DNA sequence: CGACGGCTTGAGAGACCTCAATGTAGGTGG
DNA sequence: CCACCTACATTGAGGTCTCTCAAGCCGTCG
């Protein structure tokens, strides 16, 4: 880090994140900045991608949260993964692809078209790493649902989201925007909202976290990491 | 399909499967046949890819079963997905990739190097569709673990495996090779082997399936599909 | 034949669910 | 400024699905 006038990180989260995934050159950043100027607002609950239909052009999430979700015939709902600022939506190598899951805005969001990485190898690499991370998050989700109990699931997911928010540079004092309801979180974790509520309460009592008015704060992320036996995803040997 | 002497499908499962994912041209098939001549035997339990280490060259599974697996610090095990004949292992767009999960042989296997799709657009498309299917299987796994009960999980997974084996052309009379132990299946489904055993028994009693000596037979796949509310993955609008 | 891995069975416990009611904060209209 | 509404969070009581621990069984293989 070069020294800078004391201020909040001035870069948009999306650029912070993609720069963290691969060393972006000037041209890539310029392309991103240009795309970001053409941003669009999306209101909560709107679908950005619909399961079974053709995948629209790739988007970049600039602000707000979205999620991949699957609804069963009898109405049961399962969130497959969360989409946070700086994440890509609907990136796809294949011709004539059909969406394998719906992506829906969980809060009001802003998005833009993801600039083509056609002649920008650095950007292409960032996209590839982003895809690899997406896959890692799916695997982590499977492990959570298959083998962790309620408290471990919650701790593990919150830590993952925390680390992802750090990547995008939008964590301050261990706290970050968290626009989910308990019911949404429960539907991500394979729990009922009642049981999630009770478990969150004991975590509050244990001073693991504070969560109110859409802000989540992890009081001792390192301790929580140890407690849940969590291992963060590493996806490239390039950096670090 | 041209008419051919009446016989069992003479093609290796891998070629059958990849041809089903995209219309392969002569050159692609020739490349695959050439690669298959250089096959290698892998004994059960060996690791083909190791989590956290660099991803080796992409492989094609020709025979036997493998699985992506994650082991927790305290020994709990979670199978993330199964790798069946015709599936690709370690396909990757990124430079300097690190494996996000271990891939281990569940039975004795034969594999070969996956031919490069560099100048074979059809083969490249088949690979892309294969990757998209892999992702769809992960999403299905999440939904199973998060929102289905034991019987639904079993039915849903067995149907998925059944459909995948059909793609590779290795199902006969609704029966196929199934080299898993009950404990492995339990570790894929987030259950204990005890509970899996009891649930399988009621499914046997209900005449849903027969399973003995490494052969699994679904007695009424269509009925089971209806019963579990299952929807199969569609990933491309190209074919069908 | 004994050893082994895998399958099966029993009994009891616990984590998580269901149903239902109550509490609370923010937002809107009068 | 208050009444009201809605969405969300919280609490209680009881039920059940799945787990744990443990033992017995069965086929295979050396």
Render pLDDT for B150-164 as a digit per residue (tens, 0 to 9): 999 999 999 999 999
- Give the three-class secondary structure for B182: helix
Nearest to A143 among B78, B125, B129 (CB): B78
Nearest to A97 among B147, B233, B236 (CB): B236
**pLDDT range class, residue B133, cuts 50, 70, 90:** very high
Nearest to B95 among A74, A125, A146 (CB): A125
Element (H, E) at B210: strand B209-212
Residue B229 reports pLDDT greater than 80 = no
CA triplet B57, B13, B125: central angle to 5 degrees? 55
Query: Mean per-residue pLDDT for B37-57?
Result: 94
Are A102 and A8 spatial neighbours (Cβ–Cβ below 8 Å)?
no
Chain C nucleotides close to protein (CB under 7 A) are 5-11, 15-20, 26
What pLDDT does A228 receive? 85
Nearest CA in chain B to A53: B237
Separation of CA B197 and C1' C8 in angstroms?
A: 8
Contact residues for strand C with beta carbon within 7 Å: A 149-151, 190-192, 194-195, 199, 213; B 181-183, 193-194, 197-198, 200-201
Residue B4 reports pLDDT greater than 50 = no
Is beta strand A88-89 parallel, antiparallel or unpaired with respect to A102-105?
unpaired
Contacts of A152 in chain B (CB under 8 A): none
What pLDDT does B233 receive? 74
What pLDDT does B205 receive? 95
Contacts of B132 in chain A (CB under 8 A): 92, 94, 97, 100
Summarised one tens digit per residue, pLDDT across range B74-84 is 999 999 999 99
Q: What is the pTM of this model?
A: 0.93
Q: Residues 6 or more apart from A106 whose CB is under 8 A from it?
A: A44, A64, A65, A66, A67, A82, A179, A180, A184
Write the Ramachandran bin of B86: left for phi over 0, alpha for psi from -120 to 50, otherwise beta: left
Query: Mean per-residue pLDDT for B120-142?
Result: 95
Distance from CA of A230 to the nearest CA of B (A): 9
Task: Please give the backbone phi and psi of residue B155, each rounded to the nearest 5 degrees, phi first.
Answer: -55, -45
Pairs of CB atoms within 8 A across A/B: 133
**pLDDT range class, residue B237, cuts 50, 70, 90:** low
Residue B234 reports pLDDT greater than 80 = no
Q: In chain B, pLDDT over 90 holds for what percent of residues?
A: 84
Chain D nucleotides close to protein (CB under 7 A) are 7-13, 17-22
Contacts of B72 in chain A (CB under 8 A): 143, 147, 229
Distance CA B105, CA B206 (A): 32
Q: Residues 6 or more apart from A164 whose CB is under 8 A from it?
A: A84
What pLDDT does A129 receive? 94
Cβ <8 Å between B72 and A143: yes
Distance from CA of B100 to the nearest CA of A (A): 6
What pLDDT does A28 receive? 96
Distance from CA of B53 to the nearest CA of A (A): 9
Are A155 and A224 spatial neighbours (Cβ–Cβ below 8 Å)?
yes
Query: Mean per-residue pLDDT for B127-149?
Result: 96
CA distances from B52 to A136, B75, B81, B88, B95 (A): 11, 18, 18, 19, 15
Summarised one tens digit per residue, pLDDT across range B51-64 is 999 999 999 999 99
Candidates A145, A146, A185, A192: best to mutate against B (most CBs of B within 10 A) is A146
Q: Check CB contact of B227 with chain A, cutoff 8 Å.
A: no
Cβ <8 Å between B142 and A229: no
Residue B1 reports pLDDT greater than 90 = no
Distance from CA of A80 to the nearest CA of B (A): 6
- Extract the tokens encoding B76: 């709990």
User: Which residues in chain A come in under a pLDDT of 70?
Assistant: 1-9, 96, 237-240
What pLDDT does A5 receive? 47
Q: What is the mean pLDDT of chain B?
A: 92
Q: Which nucleotide is nearest to B149 (CA to C1')?
A: D17
- Give contacts of A 104-133 with B, CB under 8 A: 125, 128-129, 131-132
Nearest to A142 among B128, B136, B142 (CB): B142
Cα radius of gyration (chain B) = 18
What pLDDT does B228 receive? 84
Distance CA B53, CA B66 (A): 18
Q: In chain B, pLDDT over 70 holds for what percent of residues?
A: 94
Q: Check CB contact of A190 with chain B, cutoff 8 Å.
A: yes
Distance CA A135, CA B173 (A): 35
Residue B239 reports pLDDT greater than 60 = no
Range scoring the smallest mean pLDDT among A95-104, B2-11, B166-175: B2-11
CA triplet A18, B71, A220: central angle to 5 degrees? 60
Q: Check CB contact of B147 with chain A, cutoff 8 Å.
A: yes
Separation of CA B194 and C1' C12 in angstroms?
A: 15
Task: Please give the backbone phi and psi of residue B11, each rounded to the nearest 5 degrees, phi first.
Answer: -80, 145
Nearest to A72 among B68, B147, B236 (CB): B147
């Amino acid at each position: 880090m070069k020294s800078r006038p004391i201020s909040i990180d001035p870069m948009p989260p999306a650029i912070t994140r993609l720069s963290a995934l691969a060393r972006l050159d000037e041209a890539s950043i310029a392309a991103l900045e240009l795309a970001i100027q053409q941003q669009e607002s999306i209101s909560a609950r709107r679908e950005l991608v619909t399961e079974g239909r053709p995948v629209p052009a790739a988007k970049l999430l600039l602000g707000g949260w979205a999620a991949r979700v699957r609804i069963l015939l009898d109405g049961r709902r399962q969130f497959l993964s969360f989409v946070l600022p700086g994440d890509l939506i609907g990136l796809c190598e294949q011709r004539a692809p059909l969406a394998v899951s719906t992506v829906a805005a969980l809060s009001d969001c802003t998005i833009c078209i993801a600039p083509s990485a056609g002649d920008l190898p650095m950007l292409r690499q960032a996209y590839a790493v982003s895809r690899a991370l997406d896959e890692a998050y799916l695997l982590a989700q499977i492990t959570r649902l298959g083998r962790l109990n309620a408290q471990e699931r919650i701790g593990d997911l919150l830590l993952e989201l925390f680390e992802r928010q750090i990547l995008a540079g939008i964590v301050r004092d261990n706290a970050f925007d968290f626009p989910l309801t308990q019911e949404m979180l429960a539907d991500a974790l394979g729990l009922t909202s009642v049981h999630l509520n009770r478990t969150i309460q004991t975590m509050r009592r244990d001073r693991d976290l504070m969560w109110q008015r859409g802000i989540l704060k992890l009081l001792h992320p390192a301790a929580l990491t140890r407690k849940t036996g969590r291992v963060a995803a590493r996806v490239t040997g390039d950096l670090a």
